[in-house]
């Protein structure tokens, strides 16, 4: 898979879509082999080129919305590859872009599920990475927020980024490759 391409992973629940993303993110160890990234910043591991956007929102409820983004920006800043550092935007800009700028000073605990999801998406913008690993990215989002997300995803691809996403929802991403995972056919049971 080359830069500027999305890989959409589909398949039934429990087949390993999330496990694949977690492995690519370095959260699950490889059973064998190695993971290599061609063309990335050589002083970074393949995992440092990625953002993992999973089921959990990675939101600290006691911090304000803006403090959550500042935390992610400061925590992740040193690993931002130079080629993507130019795409960084300030936390308030990211919140406004995702339609939750008015919540900047609220504790994150007060946000709805959709607002927490958008806050989590905002960290992709304040600490850019060339590879986005996204697990069911549209969950908890309304129609307008889904359209904004698709726009951000296609913009990321247009700037040479890569996306690997596991989803049950059709996504209008271009260019896109598909990978369908399925369970192996079961062996017939022997009867005595």
Asked whether the beta carbons of 58 and 123 are under 8 A apart, the reply is yes
Residue 191 has pLDDT above 90, yes or no: no
Q: Return the number of other C-beta atoms located less than 10 Å from residue 112's C-beta.
A: 12
Domains of the chain: 6-30+43-180 (3.40.50.300)
Q: Is the Cβ–Cβ distance between 95 and 104 less than 8 Å?
A: yes
Confidence band (pLDDT; 50, 70, 90) for 173? very high
pLDDT digits (tens, 9 = 90+) for 85-133: 656 788 999 999 999 999 999 999 999 999 999 999 999 998 888 899 9
Give the list of residues 6+ apart from residue 48 with CB closer than 8 angstroms, or none.
41, 79, 129
The more confident residue out of 57 and 18 is 18
Please check whether residue 173 is in contact with residue 157, taking contact to mean a CB–CB distance below 8 angstroms: yes
Q: What is the pLDDT of residue 41?
A: 59
Closest CA to 76 of 41, 51, 43: 51
Q: Is the pLDDT of residue 145 over 90?
A: yes
pTM > 0.85: yes
Does residue 67 have a pLDDT over 90? yes
Please give the mean pLDDT across all residues of the chain: 86
* Residue 55 pLDDT level (bands cut at 50, 70, 90): confident
What percentage of the chain has pLDDT greater than the value 90? 57
CB burial class (10 A; 0-12, 13-18, 19+) of residue 51? Answer: buried
Split at pLDDT 50, 70, 90, the class of 43 is low
Nearest to 156 by CA among 137, 178, 184: 137
- Residue 83 pLDDT grade (very low, low, confident, very high; cuts 50, 70, 90): low
What is the predicted pLDDT for the residue at 102?
97
């Amino acid at each position: 898979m080359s830069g500027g391409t999305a890989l959409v992973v589909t398949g039934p629940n429990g087949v390993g879509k999330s496990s694949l993303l977690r492995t690519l993110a370095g959260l699950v160890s490889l059973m064998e082999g190695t993971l290599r990234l061609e063309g990335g910043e050589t002083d970074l591991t393949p995992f440092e080129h990625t953002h993992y956007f999973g089921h959990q929102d990675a939101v600290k409820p006691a911090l304000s919305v803006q403090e959550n983004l500042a935390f992610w920006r400061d925590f992740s800043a040193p690993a931002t590859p130079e080629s993507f550092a130019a795409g960084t935007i300030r936390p308030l800009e990211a919140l406004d872009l995702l339609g939750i700028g008015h919540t900047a000073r609220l504790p994150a605990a007060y946000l709805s599920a959709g607002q927490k999801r958008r806050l989590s998406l905002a960290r992709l913008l304040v600490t850019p990475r060339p590879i986005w690993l996204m697990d069911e990215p549209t969950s908890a989002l309304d129609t307008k927020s889904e359209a904004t997300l698709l726009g951000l995803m296609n913009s990321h691809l247009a700037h040479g980024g890569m996306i690997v996403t596991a989803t049950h929802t059709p996504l209008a991403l271009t260019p896109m490759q598909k990978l369908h995972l399925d369970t192996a056919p079961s062996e017939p049971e022997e009867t005595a």
